[in-house]
Chains A and B, each alone.
Chain A
């Protein structure tokens, strides 16, 4: 089954404790992206990657890091999480090209930073 998977699905952590949220897709997609979703603000793009070793900032990259060493994986790293990073996070992927047609989203990771 074609899908985007994220782990963990739920995470409660404390301020300053480094964490990684993994994202993997099995559709051989070149493009992958991370979003956060907050009530009243909608989805906001954190980082995106056009292909392996190619990443770029979205609208809200502060406090996050990403890496794209393999085509199928795109982990999101929070080096020193803070309470304002409490949110619902989505990973997404699509084929190459400049349009956002058929962007596939993962099931989400709910992160709480105490």
Chain B
């Protein structure tokens, strides 16, 4: 069974204090790893897709990286508006029409001014 574990559960940062979130996964044949941002009372919002080990994606203060067993979401010099829950999800390699997606429980980031 696919497993996605995110750590830490919660992260409190001072504005400007860079940090990293971890997403470790166990999946039979990774087709893609996805990062989403979720604000309170809203649905998740897509951030990145990573397909293979060594791949990196960047968007503003966020940078996602991927190894064979885990992914990191680096937040550089965060601002209060970066406060949100960050979700990681994996899609297993295609077997026939396998479109299932497995999510981690998320890391809630709070950035204080």
Q: A residues touching B (Cβ–Cβ < 8 Å)?
A: 4, 31, 33, 35, 40-45, 48, 50, 56, 58-59, 90, 92, 98-108
Q: B residues touching A (Cβ–Cβ < 8 Å)?
A: 4, 31-32, 34, 41-46, 49, 87, 89, 91, 94, 97, 99-106
A33 to B101, CA, bound (A): 10
Chain B residues within 8 Å of A107, by CB: 41-43
A21 to B89, CA, bound (A): 25
A42 & B45 in contact (Cβ 8 Å cutoff):
no
CB contacts between A and B, total, < 8 Å: 64
A102 to B49, CA, bound (A): 9
Chain A residues within 8 Å of B34, by CB: 100-101, 103
A92 & B97 in contact (Cβ 8 Å cutoff):
no
A40 to B44, CA, bound (A): 16
Q: How far is the CB of A42 from chain B (nearest CB, A)?
A: 4
Chain B residues within 8 Å of A104, by CB: 46
